[in-house]
Amino acid sequence: MKKEIMSGNEAIARGAYEAGCHVACAYPGTPSTEILENTVNYTDIDSSWAPNEKVALEVAIGASFGGGRALCTMKHVGVNVAADPLFTLSYTGVGGGLVLVTADDPEMHSSQNEQDNRNYAKFAKVPMLEPADSQECKEFTRLAFELSEQYDTPVMLRTTTRISHSKSIVTPGERVSGLAEPKLVKNAAKLVMLPGNARVRHPLVEERINKLSEAGATMPINRLELRDTSIGIITSGVCFQYVREAMPGASTLKLGMVHPLPKTLIREFAAQVDKLYVVEELDPFIEEQIRAMGIAVTGKELISLCGELTPGRIRTAFGLQQPPVVPGDKLPGRPPNMCPGCPHRGVFFALNQLKAYVTGDIGCYTLGFMPPLSAMDTCICMGASIGMATGVSKVVSAEEKKKVVAVIGDSTFLHTGINGLMDMVYNNSPSTVVILDNRITAMTGRQDNPASGFTLMDAPSHSIDFPLLCKSLGVRHVRVINPFDLEQTRKVLQEEMERPETSVVITDKPCILVKREGVFQKGPTYAVEAEKCTGCRACLKIGCPAIEWRPAGDGGKKGKAFIDPLLCTGCDVCRQLCRFEAIGRTK
Amino acid sequence: MSDKITNILLVGVGGQGILLAAEILSEAVLLAGFDVKKSEIHGMSQRGGSVVSHVRYGTEVFSPIVPEGEGDILFGFEMMETYRSLSLLRQGGAVVANDLRIAPPSVLMGQETYPEGLAERIKERFPDFLLLDGQKLASEAGNPRTANTVLLGAVSRRLDIDEHFWLQALEKMVPKKALEVNKTAFLLGRSADWNRP
């Protein structure tokens, strides 16, 4: 077939298609999201978004036990959520092949931590493959399905942001045929993990890992390349590419399987080179295991435990010459910002005015912590806002309790926030929860969810009724507000914060970027009447990218506001801030 | 073909269409028979933040990101982002910049000022510099939204890729109804005079 340029994520989707994958399931998360957005283009695969990663993996496990091949994808922190089924799945093994993709994010380009998920493979005792470009993403995905069935184990495929989101050349292949038809097979001794059964399975897991380590010595994905033998580097994934770039003469052992390590091959390589190094991002995962084998090796004493590597960082670590780089001047930064017309802006403006203590969550609205809105005080993980609000309210004074507000998006609430709300009602927390329902999983690029009314395959579906859901959980005070109405927003929030009972406030305006018919409404744009503008800067307090401060030009502090008609969506929030009626609709 | 790798950086502001320009560039390079890798960061940067896309091509490309200080061409869609990324270029590298200012949040709010004289400051460090008014040229081509294609045309002059590969790449990547105006825009940019004073 003709060569194509694909991202790592597109190539993993292609690999799953070629491997005859039946079911693909995921919760969106950068940098993994585009895998399912591409499997959906292959109609032979049943692709779906799950409410969270644990459910996604359980769907995949069910499909596998039914004899189908199943792909489950998530970002690194998603594996924390899915860890519960993963560890026991290691014991049961699979029916049809099961591949779990973990997309790690060294450097935290879009994440709250940079945990190294290679540790999960060792912890759960499952094999892990790590591709180094898009062609390998496709090939390793196919191989992962085969290994999964051959060794009766889930197989993890680990990418990093630079693999997931980089594009390189891929030669597509055909979809396999002749796989066994999925069907129900009962096998309680293998699939019902009660202690008596699990005790039988555990030794098999240990045996399986030993067999895989032995097989690793002859797997073509573990590649020993001898060049100058004074330096030998063991590496994997995108780090292999950086090593080849920065130190083209060095001998390399490129590991396609990073767990279990192919010990025989490592000993062979170590014996052929004068000095042995490991180049790996984040944890000394490979290095420590090699040292435990009694082999002298250098790694983290040269290379940082933090952040991603680059060819330049490897050169620096090895004391090699760098091209001269002229340091840049100090420039104004350009952080991400909420879009013009974003329905979250008014809520954070109000929370700032009310001096709330906001336990935050994961989504576009996390940007509410940035000035000038500056109205978020914590952000830990998906769904954490609600439990944390309960907890902080337990310890502070009666007056301070009133300040505590949890803020969470629709998708995040359905992910793992809902359990926190059950707890809040059950244990009678006085806190207020704001559900920012913008009808979409916005931050990762607008994916559907159980409240959006559509599935990943674009079929119309039930849309969860948030007020009804909250009432059914036992919340007695549920109020729906229009977040573009600043006065109503502030008033309702204030009343519910005062109330010494659990209450939920739901905003009901969709993400401005949702283009679905009947949802996106760009109203008439607004403009500043220059004669009426006093230059008081009140409208700048919402941090809208469509509003610009234009200095008078005399070097002083005076100036006027200007609204960019191309960016303005007509949300009306700035008009409500102007005490001089200088902002109005354009005719 | 020599072993030389050509390193191109495309920089600007999220939402400016940088990723599509990088896609077209990569496609043209693939059609011309080179190995190619392209890398950028999605996610948070979509919300109006700085965006840097790396495209590398040659006989065999390893790293998907351009090693620091080895960029051959910097392709800037916005002036301050162009200036911010100069340190990625090698000494003697070339710069094509769109003469466009997009104010970041701190400037919008009047807390900082947008730096002045950026074109002169770039030219001082990198004399091989072409400044284009992408929006104006795009209007001349027939659609102000083709500014990126005009700039891509200007960049194409400095790369050893035949014209027909570029046009083929446009045919593949641009929606049919916008194809003709994009071809016009590309050729207009391609005819830009790099040697003007």
Say if CB A357 and CB A397 are below 8 A apart: no
Q: Of the candidates A427, A428, A429, A426, which has an alpha carbon nearest to the alpha carbon of residue A406? A: A429
Which B residues in the span 122-161 are in contact with A, Cβ-Cβ below 8 Å? 125
Inter-chain touch A5–B84, beta carbons under 8 Å: no
In the structure, what pLDDT confidence band is assigned to residue B44 with cuts at 50, 70 and 90?
Answer: low
Q: How many helices (H) and strands (E) does chain B have?
A: 8, 6
Whole-Å CA distances, A96 to A68, A184, A563: 5, 12, 58
Inter-chain touch A331–B38, beta carbons under 8 Å: no
CB under 8 Å to A121, separation ≥6 — which residues? A127, A128, A156, A158, A258, A259
Tens of pLDDT, residue by residue over A127-154, are 999 999 999 999 999 999 999 999 999 9
Name every chain B residue with its beta carbon within 8 A of the beta carbon of A370.
105
With respect to residue B101, please indicate whether it lies within any of the assigned structural domains: yes
Q: Of the candidates A58, A36, A38, which has an alpha carbon nearest to the alpha carbon of residue A48? A: A36
Name every chain B residue with its beta carbon within 8 A of the beta carbon of A559.
110
Whole-Å CA distances, A92 to A87, A103, B187: 9, 24, 61
With respect to residue B69, please indicate whether it lies within any of the assigned structural domains: yes
- For Cα atoms A192, A194, A198, give the angle at the middle one, nearest 5 degrees: 85
Name every chain A residue with its beta carbon within 8 A of the beta carbon of B87.
325-328
Closest residue to A332, CB basis, from B13, B62, B107 = B107
Inform me whether the pLDDT recorded for B17 exceeds 90: no
Averaged pLDDT for residues A476-496: 98
Inform me whether the pLDDT recorded for B197 exceeds 90: no
Inter-chain touch A167–B67, beta carbons under 8 Å: no
Closest residue to A245, CB basis, from B35, B67, B83 = B67
Name every chain A residue with its beta carbon within 8 A of the beta carbon of B36.
5, 167-169
The reported pLDDT for the residue numbered B41 is 77
Place of tokens 């420039």: A331
In the structure, what pLDDT confidence band is assigned to residue A518 with cuts at 50, 70 and 90?
Answer: low
The reported pLDDT for the residue numbered A554 is 79
In the structure, what pLDDT confidence band is assigned to residue A438 with cuts at 50, 70 and 90?
Answer: very high
- Tell whether A325 is within 8 A of chain B (Cβ): yes
Which A residues in the span 525-584 are in contact with B, Cβ-Cβ below 8 Å? 537, 540, 543, 545, 547-549, 551, 559
Tens of pLDDT, residue by residue over A96-115, are 999 999 999 999 999 999 99
Cβ pairs bridging A and B (under 8 Å): 169
With respect to residue B67, please indicate whether it lies within any of the assigned structural domains: yes
With respect to residue B61, please indicate whether it lies within any of the assigned structural domains: yes
In the structure, what pLDDT confidence band is assigned to residue A520 with cuts at 50, 70 and 90?
Answer: low
Hey, what are A191's tokens? 């699939």
Domain that holds residue B72: 6-133+150-173
In the structure, what pLDDT confidence band is assigned to residue A327 with cuts at 50, 70 and 90?
Answer: confident
- Tell whether A460 is within 8 A of chain B (Cβ): no
Got the DSSP string for A253-295?
A: EE-SEEES--HHHHHHHHHHSSEEEEE-SSS-HHHHHHHHTT-
Cβ neighbours around B109 below 10 Å, total: 19
d(CA B168, CA A222): 38
Phi, psi angles (nearest 5°) of residue A114: -125, 50
d(CA A297, CA A281): 16
Nearest-neighbour CA in chain A from B31: distance (Å):
10
Inter-chain touch B87–A325, beta carbons under 8 Å: yes
Looking at chain A, the whole-number percentage of residues with pLDDT higher than 90 is 94
In the structure, what pLDDT confidence band is assigned to residue A319 with cuts at 50, 70 and 90?
Answer: very high
In the structure, what pLDDT confidence band is assigned to residue B3 with cuts at 50, 70 and 90?
Answer: confident
With respect to residue B95, please indicate whether it lies within any of the assigned structural domains: yes
Nearest-neighbour CA in chain A from B48: distance (Å):
5
Q: Of the candidates A370, A368, A439, which has an alpha carbon nearest to the alpha carbon of residue A405? A: A368
- Of A262-276, A312-326, B34-48, the poorest mean pLDDT is in B34-48
The total number of structural domains that make up chain B: 1
Let me know if B137 is exposed, middle or buried by CB neighbors in 10 A (0-12, 13-18, 19+): buried
The reported pLDDT for the residue numbered A555 is 74
Which A residues in the span 84-113 are in contact with B, Cβ-Cβ below 8 Å? 109-110
Say if CB A23 and CB A45 are below 8 A apart: yes
The reported pLDDT for the residue numbered B1 is 45
- Tell whether A133 is within 8 A of chain B (Cβ): yes
Tell how far CA A464 is from the center of its chain: 23
- Tell whether A446 is within 8 A of chain B (Cβ): no
Task: Give me the interface pTM, i.e. the ipTM.
Answer: 0.95
With respect to residue B142, please indicate whether it lies within any of the assigned structural domains: no
Can you give the three-state secondary structure of A365-377, one letter per residue? HHHHHCCCCCCCC
Inter-chain touch B108–A548, beta carbons under 8 Å: yes
Tens of pLDDT, residue by residue over A343-392, are 999 999 999 999 999 999 999 999 999 999 999 999 999 999 999 999 99
Cβ neighbours around B12 below 10 Å, total: 29
Pairing, β A128-129 against β A155-160: parallel
Say if CB A366 and CB A379 are below 8 A apart: yes
Tens of pLDDT, residue by residue over A60-71, are 999 999 999 999
- Tell whether A252 is within 8 A of chain B (Cβ): no
Residue A559: strand, helix, or coil = strand
Inform me whether the pLDDT recorded for B7 exceeds 60: yes
Higher pLDDT pick, A548 / A554: A548
Name every chain A residue with its beta carbon within 8 A of the beta carbon of B86.
326, 328
Tell how far CA A378 is from the center of its chain: 18
Averaged pLDDT for residues A406-419: 98
With respect to residue B53, please indicate whether it lies within any of the assigned structural domains: yes
Question: What is residue A540's DSSP assignment?
Answer: G
* Arithmetic mean of pLDDT over chain A: 96
Residue of A nearest to B106 (CA): A332
- For Cα atoms A275, A277, A279, give the angle at the middle one, nearest 5 degrees: 160
Q: Which of A104, A279, A334 to mutate to test the interface with B (most CBs of B within 10 A)?
A: A334
Inter-chain touch B125–A326, beta carbons under 8 Å: yes
Averaged pLDDT for residues A213-218: 98
A260-297 burial, b at 16+ Cβ within 10 Å, e below that, comes to: bbbbebbeebbeebeebbbbbbbbbbbbebbeeeeeeb
Tens of pLDDT, residue by residue over A28-83, are 999 999 999 999 999 999 999 999 999 999 999 999 999 999 999 999 999 999 99
d(CA A356, CA A406): 10
Plot region of A172 (φ>0 → left; ψ -120 to 50 → alpha; else → beta) = beta
Q: Which of B24, B59, B62 to mutate to test the interface with A (most CBs of A within 10 A)?
A: B62
Bridge partners (DSSP) of residue A36 are none
Inter-chain touch A336–B44, beta carbons under 8 Å: yes
With respect to residue B38, please indicate whether it lies within any of the assigned structural domains: yes
Say if CB B13 and CB B102 are below 8 A apart: yes
Nearest-neighbour CA in chain A from B56: distance (Å):
10
Instruction: Spell out the domains of chain A, with CATH numbers in brackets.
Output: 4-216 (3.40.50.970), 223-317 (3.40.50.920), 345-507 (3.40.50.970), 526-585 (3.30.70.20)
Q: Which of A2, A10, A167 to mutate to test the interface with B (most CBs of B within 10 A)?
A: A167
CATH of the domain at B53: 3.40.920.10
Tens of pLDDT, residue by residue over A143-193, are 999 999 999 999 999 999 999 999 999 999 999 999 999 999 999 999 999
d(CA A425, CA A32): 34
Let me know if B35 is exposed, middle or buried by CB neighbors in 10 A (0-12, 13-18, 19+): middle
d(CA A350, CA A491): 9
Hey, what are B157's tokens? 């002059």
Dihedral (Cα; A476, A481, A486, A489), 10-degree rounding: 10
Inform me whether the pLDDT recorded for A521 exceeds 80: no
Name every chain B residue with its beta carbon within 8 A of the beta carbon of A3.
30
The reported pLDDT for the residue numbered A126 is 98
Say if CB A438 and CB A343 are below 8 A apart: yes
Inter-chain touch A110–B114, beta carbons under 8 Å: no
- Tell whether A330 is within 8 A of chain B (Cβ): no
- Tell whether B119 is within 8 A of chain A (Cβ): no
Q: What is the CA radius of gyration of chain A?
A: 27
In the structure, what pLDDT confidence band is assigned to residue B139 with cuts at 50, 70 and 90?
Answer: very high
Cβ neighbours around B116 below 10 Å, total: 8
Inter-chain touch A166–B43, beta carbons under 8 Å: no
Looking at chain A, the whole-number percentage of residues with pLDDT higher than 70 is 99
